[in-house]
Amino acid sequence: MSHITGDSPPVAAPRPPSAAPGFEGVRLTGLTKTFRRTTVLRDAHLDLVPGDIHALIGQNGSGKSTIVKILSGFHRPDSGAILARAGKEYSFPLTARQLDELGIAFVHQDLGLVDSASVVDNIRIGRFSRGRFSRRIDMRTERSAARRTLDRLGSSIDVDAPVGGLSAAQRSIVAIARAVQSLRGGDGVIVFDESTQSLPPAVLAGFYATVRDLAVQGTAILLVSHRLDEVMALSDAVTVLRDGQVVASALPTAATSVRELTRLMLGVEAQTHPLREEVPGAPADVVLTATGLTGRRLRGVDLALRAGEVLGVTGATESGHEELPYLLAGTRPGGGHVACDGRRVDLAAANARALIDLGVALVPQGRTTAGLALGLTASDNLSLPRMRSRNSRYWLSKNWQEDEARRVIADFGITPARADLPMGAFSGGNQQKFLVGKWMVARPRVLLLHEPTQAVDVGARRDILRNIRRAAAAGAAVVVVSLDEEDLASVCDRVVVLAAGRPSAELTAPFTAADVIDAVGNRLGALEEHS
């Protein structure tokens, strides 16, 4: 059944819904959740029908993650219940045994895999069978169980292979296998919680086909996604959340549009013009030059970064574009030189501190792994890079921290507007806003951003991109490294396309998302012809 190969063609064929006998789906009713004095979910409801792919959408902070966490047993709601199997009612929080009884399984955003462990260990973790007397794990039995599940998905992945060495497509299969292993054919509910975010574009069509196949067997699918094109292509029905409340319930996907879903999410019509027209820049003098940038894939790239300009960098998978911001920031080993204000830095010998001293700031991809400390407050996260420079040896001032937090919250429209909350209490999109604001508030001379709108909804995306344009208008040289052609077309003055580690094309505004796609595709096709 597996279609996730990395080179699958787009799958657009209609899927006939079906339902397995004996399973009647689940109904979530009256879900309300309050954190301290903030109500994040109010009387929400959701029906998951066997054989249907039901999308759950909303702006970051709308309550999507709260529903998933309630369903998984992580949060206890203030009120609400779950009805399943001929009207049997369960109260929250659900236990692991109850989740098994209901057949509810999850595939999370980061896939939740342990790279150092084998495929069989990742699939069977938490389900290992032990000898009655010895309590030892029978690995032969475990391998057989993992193999049966992978066979069911049509995958031939070696169960003893370390997950860290697998391709993105294979990793997604392992995560799905772990979720479906305890479900009888056509049974249960699988929650895909932003699961496609960690997948490259080349494997998405195969992933979608695998999800469709699970639904055809009768499994109920809950698809939590910020990608409206994905929702339109994959789902049968859509429930929309706004400000913690359901504003559209089980809306047939075929009867709506991206424009209408955006209006429901935002409460207003979305603007569609490029943000570079709304917040125009004024490219000025070169503030930083990079020469001979060389890494694992980059092969001698030269760049000139101008104040007041947003430069986009993109390319096909493995073109080397993803290395560029980390080389420029001194956080990844490589070669080349950076020059600024008469100072020349050898990147082979430099570290991040040397580049920060030049006024270079990096907003990395992976907010929870490389950008934020979820256990610290939002205020502390924002001020960490400047603690040493803004405070004296003998006095720790809170005034500047509070001022910076207020500015970031106001500029990015963050909700709840509470800098004293732990970062982990915010939705993913609001965390992403804090991550970008953390470096932008310091007004760096050069701002490097890698996939700045990753895993955020349409409203948060607009807020982040608008602030990127504002940073350039204030005089920063901004570099946006991304695979998102819509973002690049909206926010960039120029886009450099890389292929095989070198610049292969350059676009100058005005240009469209289609122009970016064509530039990347044309260069990729030319390379394939000569390979």
pLDDT of the residue at 12: 36
DSSP assignment of 91-106 = PSSPPHHHHHHHTEEE
- Alpha carbon distance, N-terminus to C-terminus of the chain: 32
For residue 416, say if its preceding peptide bond is cis, omega within 30 degrees of 0: yes
Separation of alpha carbons 279 and 401, rounded Å: 27
275-359+444-530 matches 26-266 in CATH topology:
yes
Backbone angles phi, psi at 416, to 5 degrees: -70, 155
Domain boundaries, the chain: 26-266, 275-359+444-530, 373-442
pLDDT of the residue at 253: 95
The DSSP element (H or E) to which 210 belongs, if any, is: helix 204-216
The DSSP element (H or E) to which 242 belongs, if any, is: strand 237-242
Q: Could you give the strand order of the β-sheet that contains 104-107, starting from the edge strand earlier in sequence? A: 104-107, 189-193, 220-224, 53-58, 237-242, 245-252
pLDDT of the residue at 10: 35
CA torsion, ordered 405, 410, 416, 420, to nearest 10 deg: 10
Using DSSP's 3-state secondary structure scheme, residue 478 falls into: strand
The DSSP element (H or E) to which 88 belongs, if any, is: strand 88-90
Under a CB-based contact definition with an 8 Å cutoff, are residues 428 and 455 in contact?
Answer: yes
DSSP state of 365: S
Contacts of 61 (CB under 8 A, 6+ apart): 40, 415, 416, 426, 427, 429, 430
pLDDT of the residue at 436: 93
Beta-bridge partner residues of 28: 46, 82
pLDDT of the residue at 6: 45
Residue-wise pLDDT for 20-66, tens only, equals 444 467 899 999 998 877 788 999 999 999 999 999 998 777 888 89
pLDDT of the residue at 8: 37
CA torsion, ordered 343, 344, 349, 353, to nearest 10 deg: 40
Under-50 pLDDT residues of the chain: 5-23, 523-531
Supply the pTM of this predicted model: 0.65
Residue-wise pLDDT for 299-350, tens only, equals 999 999 999 999 999 987 678 898 999 999 999 889 999 998 888 999 998 8
The DSSP element (H or E) to which 361 belongs, if any, is: strand 360-363
Q: Is 388 exposed, middle or buried (0-12, 13-18, 19+ CB in 10 A)?
A: exposed
pLDDT of the residue at 506: 93
Separation of alpha carbons 505 and 301, rounded Å: 13
pLDDT of the residue at 16: 39
pLDDT of the residue at 269: 58
**Strand pairing class (245-252; 237-242):** antiparallel
| CATH level 3 topology of 26-266 | Rossmann fold (3.40.50)
- State in words which class domain 275-359+444-530 has: alpha beta
Query: Given CA atoms 257, 258, 264, 269 in this order, what sign does their dihedral have?
Result: negative
